[in-house]
Structure 1
């Protein structure tokens, strides 16, 4: 039987808690050790998790491991997706790419830049919106800074339409959608309109980095 409290990476086994045969009792300091190691595998030897980010990582870990009690304390609904916000370079995309590895038995999501979806629309049109409204799991990266789509001379707010499709999918199937953005709520509303913004509130838990979070790319 697979032990979900142990994860193997490059020949090394990492413990992220204790498994009693039914449930894992997770250990956050051990999770941080694992995430640091996996981050170096994914992003290079200079990757490190800084102490300032522990609080937000703790919230996100509780969400991904579905610790309902701790999620409730942080006003997070484990059945909704995550909208991770924060300034440019604070590490949103890296965290969303990293944290899906914490629960290897859960169905993984693909991290897709929002602008790539718009480029796809520009080439093949509305089928792109249909494709992203299907039963796959996605994290839309850099939401809100993508250009307006244009296909055969017609403009389309592609990601606004995709989010409406994902909302309909969520209502029917509870399939979640995640996203990252540098924008504030008002800026997202300006970009997508009030209707999409209200759907986003139902689709996502808002988890925010501090507005003064460091740009880790410098």
Structure 2
């Protein structure tokens, strides 16, 4: 389905113009994107939702990645061909932002957000077929990566998300299939959780964007 004006989005009877057209190109306005994200956030998560000024730096990177502003991404050291690994403390807003980000670009393929723990629990019930299931060409964002329990099927343990990430890496190399993830863990903790082999491939697959380690828990 084509979107003749993808920069104009209607929510709750209100139109949000995220930028303007110049020829066939959309020139996005970061301030207007912030207004939309806060309004959409209130619709999705309740009236208490707020975009915090201290998060503008992270949001600027995420927004430019999502709209594929190649020149700005290059300046920021971001590769739009890779996925996102959004890291930060518990409650800083990672999952909410990943849910919101995909709403800004209705003309782009979207991604499904899947809690990593649900995948691990699924492995316990149906076994290795779940690794095959998430090794397909769909776009996913694995939420809370690294804190999921180890999978166990018929008495055998499996680092389920580690195996899935290896499969997703192969898809990334062969078909440029992107994977996103959120995590509370830092690089060292991820390596301890998944091993150096997976961590090395994650560097190839992901742009790492991080909240400040002192970001407060917005759910309190």
TM-score category, normalised to shorter length: over 0.9
Q: What 5-or-longer segments of structure 1 have no aligned partner?
A: none
Counterpart in 2 of 1:59? 61
Q: Answer yes or no: is the 8 Å Cα contact 1:16–1:31 preserved in 2.
A: yes
TM-score (norm 2): 0.97
* 3-state SS of 1:172 partner: helix
Off by >2 Å, runs of 4+ in structure 1: none
* Cα distance in 2 between the residues matched to 1:183 and 1:151: 26
1:189 aligns to what? 191
Alignment of 1:108-123 (within 5 A): 108-123=110-125
The Cα of 1:4 is off from its aligned counterpart by 1.6
Q: State the distance in 1 between where 2:31 and 2:78 align.
A: 21
Shift of 1:20: 2.6
The equivalent residue for 1:82 is: 84
Aligned length: 218
1:141 to 122, 140, 143: 143
TM-score by length of 1: 0.98
Q: Any stretches of 5+ residues in structure 2 without a counterpart?
A: none
Q: 2 CA distance for matches of 1:5 and 1:147?
A: 41
Superposed, which structure 2 residues align to 1:147-166 within 5 Å? 147-166=149-168
Question: Contact 1:63 / 1:78 at 8 angstroms: preserved in 2?
Answer: yes
**Aligned with 1:172 (options 153, 171, 174):** 174
